[in-house]
Amino acid sequence: MMGQLGAALAYFASLEVLIGLAIGVIGGMIIGIIPGLGPSVGIALLIPISFSMSPTAALVMMTAMYTTGVYGGSITAVLCHTPGTAASAATTMDGYELTKQGRGMEAITVVTVASVFGGIVGAVCLILFAPMLGKISLMFSCLEYFLVACFGILVVSGLTGENRAKGIFSALLGLLIGCVGMDKISGVPRFTFGQLWLEDGLDSTPILIGLFSISQVLILVDNLLSGRGSTIVDDPAAGLQGKRWEKGNTGLLAPTMVRSSIVGAFIGFIPAAGCSIAAWISYSIAKRTSRHPEEYGHGSLVGIAASEAANNAACGGAMIPLFTLGIPGSPVTAILYGALLMHGLQPGSGLFTGEKAVMTYAIFLGFLFANVLMGIIGVTMAKQMARICLVPNSVLVPIIVALACIGTYALSNSMEEVVIMLVFGVLGYLMKVLGFEPAPLVLGVVLADILEANFRRALIMAIPKGGLWNYFLTRPVSMIIVAIIVIFALVPVLKRFFIKTEES
Amino acid sequence: MATKIHRDIPVGAVLLIFSTIALYFARGIKGEAKVVPMALTILMIVCALVIIFNGIRATNTCHGEYDYKMKLGEGRNAFIFMGFIIIYYLAFRYISYWIATPLFMVFAQKHLKVKSWKVNLAITVIYTVFCYIMFVVVLKLPIYKIGILGKYFRFT
């Protein structure tokens, strides 16, 4: 493999590949920043451009856009409470709080470093373990997908805020919203009220933009017109005075970044799980294992490092089943799958043998270099990006609204999506005023489909095995996931027990 | 004097009504597809009852003195601005994004107390031109299909 990696490096002497890499990185960051336009839209737009390019240059450009698109979405999540993609929603909770405290530059730097670290871990997994992990991903089926979604649901318990009943209600509402549309198993319409545009269900992105971005805009307007703040940052004079990287940050964040990257890469390679679930689960693990869980949601650097390392590591992980088995687990990887076929690359073992192996490793190396380049640009631009928090709200608010509207329209060229975004904007505002957390609702929407459809598929698959329990006993991976879920659920109990023992 | 009730009581009541209506519609779904929505709505009803119960408990313990972080009654400005956004949406949908957006930007900034007309217009023009280049010229988004004047802003 080392020989093939060495040969793959030679591809980067080509100007076409380097230009592709630069376009992918910069384009991904811009696309990610615009609410609604995630990496899937960006990569789809690159397909016609890549027709005349060599397969390596085209795929390097697209995979670079994948990872940097996820990162770009986190920049606006931190600075404007506007996550560009669902994968950045977890970062919003602490990142925006840091910006308000005048630590936007530090938050952006932590987001960048964690994203780069996670991206590199994902790329290393892709380069070193792709064929092996690809085989493992075949051991996952409906029951395992369902259990992973259950793990995600468990995360809700850490996001409910002060009032647990309200948090759980939010999550249930999210799951119910996820049920809207045609039932995936039987094809029966649910809560569509005869509206054709509802039959495909509600996309999570307009909901996300409404709940986070529009609701925050309304709060900013409220604060501005009632004289409680004219900029996002509480003290504009101290807005950019903080350091990029405090001395103790490396020691503080390194263990979380390592753990979250591994968790992210692992969740990423499970088809259908994706970057957003990876980010939420890592955030929740970090909170549960922290000595100061009360800091989460109030500007915790560890919190943003956890979600950011995980969502970028998941990008690398998601490409493992794609390249090794031809299984696209998300809309982004489905588009990449189409791009691979378009350039004559048939996913499978053929990509890891002979001449094509060199090309494949060149694409993986491109993904690795994209993360490095993204880090260099991100750290260099951190101060300039953090200046957004000094822009008066009177200017920022109309820009966010106009951008959110056109970005949401661009998602599927549909004005109905804009209506959904606005409805959820008002709902998000009401939720914040009345003490409900919007995060469990978003997580509910994201998980609903994976949870229900896979559970029902598992029930169908369990019939020849004599029922769900017998089927479960034949699936070692399911047992491992259940064991992890039980350990995860017991962490707070065990932690409390150890603290009490220490105190006594 | 009667004690003012905690707001979680009316909020819980609204959620209870909403969940009950959702349960009614969930019951009408055919076959197995109704199981999950029904289970979810029943759990939502339970949560709504817990919220009401918590509200009653807070009413009894706090005796009308509640420490709300945000109040709905103070959100008048937010709802007025939401009106701006709805008008903007209607203009976007029925006239054109490229007419609605500059008008929205100018009036919204004025409403949000941007005093200088120069700054206001400069931001509006820069934003609109940037968006036109980004979404129409580069991304080829079919925004021209939206609104009666949309076709005049098609980039060929």
Q: Which of the 8 DSSP states describes residue B2? A: P
What pLDDT does B2 receive?
56
Phi, psi (degrees; rounded to nearest 5) at A205: -65, -50
Which residues of chain B make contact with A188, given a CB cutoff of 8 A?
A: 29-31, 33
pLDDT tier for residue A240 given thresholds of 50, 70 and 90: low
A172/B85 CB distance under 8 A: no
Is the Cβ–Cβ distance between A174 and A443 less than 8 Å? Answer: yes
Please name the amino acid found at residue A381. Answer: M
Smallest Cα distance from A402 to chain B, Å: 7
B141/A409 CB distance under 8 A: yes
What pLDDT does B93 receive?
93
Is the Cβ–Cβ distance between A73 and A84 less than 8 Å? Answer: yes
CA A242, CA A232: separation in Å to the nearest integer?
Answer: 16
Q: Where are the beta strands (DSSP E) in A175-242?
A: 181-182, 189-190
3-state secondary structure of A193: coil
Tell me what the mean pLDDT of segment A322-328 comes to. Answer: 82
What pLDDT does B3 receive?
64
CA A142, CA A460: separation in Å to the nearest integer?
Answer: 10
Which residues of chain B make contact with A397, given a CB cutoff of 8 A?
A: 81, 108, 112
Name the residue facing B36 among A395, A402, A452 (closest C-beta): A452
Which residues of chain A make contact with B50, given a CB cutoff of 8 A?
A: 165
Angle between helices B35-62 and B8-27 (to 10 degrees): 170
What spatial distance separates the first Cα and last Cα of chain A, rounded to whole Å?
56
CA A409, CA A414: separation in Å to the nearest integer?
Answer: 5
- Name the residue with higher pLDDT: B110 or A47: B110
B33/A190 CB distance under 8 A: yes
Smallest Cα distance from A394 to chain B, Å: 5
Which residues of chain B make contact with A214, given a CB cutoff of 8 A?
A: 85
Name the residue facing A188 among B31, B82, B108 (closest C-beta): B31
C-beta pairs of B9-13 under 8 Å, 24+ apart in sequence: B9/B52, B9/B55, B9/B56, B9/B59, B11/A434, B11/B51, B11/B55, B12/B48, B12/B49, B12/B50, B12/B51, B12/B52, B12/B53, B12/B54, B12/B55, B13/B48, B13/B52
Name the residue facing A422 among B37, B41, B85 (closest C-beta): B85
Hey, how many other C-beta atoms are within 10 angstroms of the C-beta on B20? 13
Residue-by-residue DSSP string for A315-337: HHHHHHHHHHH----SHHHHHHH
Note the pLDDT tens digit of each residue in A466-481.
Answer: 888 888 888 888 999 8
Residues in chain B: 156
pLDDT tier for residue A113 given thresholds of 50, 70 and 90: very high
Is the Cβ–Cβ distance between A175 and A185 less than 8 Å? Answer: no
Q: Is A45 on the interface with B (CB under 8 A)?
A: yes
Hey, how many other C-beta atoms are within 10 angstroms of the C-beta on A444? 25
pLDDT tier for residue A238 given thresholds of 50, 70 and 90: low
Q: Can you tell me which residue has the tokens 């106009």? A: A402
Is the Cβ–Cβ distance between A401 and A80 less than 8 Å? Answer: no
Burial class (CB in 10 A: 0-12, 13-18, 19+), A414: middle
The chain A residue lying nearest B35, using CA atoms, is A452
Note the pLDDT tens digit of each residue in B38-87.
Answer: 999 999 999 999 999 999 998 888 777 777 777 877 788 999 999 999 99
B33/A188 CB distance under 8 A: yes
Name the residue facing A222 among B29, B31, B75 (closest C-beta): B75
Hey, how many other C-beta atoms are within 10 angstroms of the C-beta on A35? 32
Smallest Cα distance from A480 to chain B, Å: 26
In degrees, rounded to 5, the angle at the alpha carbon of residue A198 between the alpha carbons of residues A194 and A201 is 140
Cβ-Cβ contacts under 8 Å for A274 (sequence gap 6 or more):
A87, A267, A268, A314, A318, A329, A330
Is the Cβ–Cβ distance between B98 and A396 less than 8 Å? Answer: no
Note the pLDDT tens digit of each residue in A155-168.
Answer: 776 677 778 889 89
Note the pLDDT tens digit of each residue in A264-306.
Answer: 998 887 776 678 888 988 998 888 888 888 888 888 999 999 9
Smallest Cα distance from B147 to chain A, Å: 11
Q: Is A138 on the interface with B (CB under 8 A)?
A: no
pLDDT > 80? residue A1? no
Tell me what the mean pLDDT of segment A220-246 comes to. Answer: 76
Nearest to A239 by CA among A108, A105, A75: A105
Which residues of chain A make contact with B77, given a CB cutoff of 8 A?
A: 221-222, 224-226
**Chains A, B: CB contacts under 8 A, how many?**
160
- Report, in angstroms and rounded to the nearest whole number, the Rg of chain B calculated over CA atoms: 24
CA A312, CA A90: separation in Å to the nearest integer?
Answer: 13
Read off the tokens for B32: 């197995």
pLDDT tier for residue A451 given thresholds of 50, 70 and 90: confident
Smallest Cα distance from A224 to chain B, Å: 7
Nearest to A42 by CA among A28, A54, A60, A25: A28
Smallest Cα distance from A10 to chain B, Å: 32
CA A164, CA A42: separation in Å to the nearest integer?
Answer: 38
Name the residue facing B47 among A165, A429, A433 (closest C-beta): A165
Smallest Cα distance from A87 to chain B, Å: 23
Best mutation site among B56, B79, B85 for testing chain A: the one with the most A CBs within 10 Å?
A: B85
Which residues of chain A make contact with B101, given a CB cutoff of 8 A?
A: 402, 406
CA A367, CA A344: separation in Å to the nearest integer?
Answer: 19
Is the Cβ–Cβ distance between A377 and A71 less than 8 Å? Answer: no
A415/B146 CB distance under 8 A: yes
- Name the residue with higher pLDDT: A390 or A298: A298
- Name the residue with higher pLDDT: A152 or B21: B21
Q: Is A179 on the interface with B (CB under 8 A)?
A: yes
Domain boundary assignment for chain B: 8-68, 76-153
Q: Is A416 on the interface with B (CB under 8 A)?
A: no
Question: What's the half-sphere exposure (Cβ side, CA atoms, 13 Å) at A111?
Answer: 37
Smallest Cα distance from B2 to chain A, Å: 23
Question: What percent of chain A has pLDDT above 90?
Answer: 27
Name the residue facing A176 among B41, B97, B114 (closest C-beta): B41
Residue A304 gets the label, from left (phi > 0), alpha (psi -120 to 50) or beta, of alpha
Smallest Cα distance from A495 to chain B, Å: 28
Q: Is A429 on the interface with B (CB under 8 A)?
A: yes
A398/B104 CB distance under 8 A: yes
Name the residue facing B37 among A176, A418, A429 (closest C-beta): A176
Q: Which of the 8 DSSP states describes residue B132? A: I
3-state secondary structure of B108: helix
What pLDDT does B137 receive?
85
3-state secondary structure of A185: coil
Q: Where are the beta strands (DSSP E) in A361-473?
A: none
Mean pLDDT of the residues in chain A: 86
Read off the tokens for B117: 């007309």
- Complex confidence, ipTM: 0.93
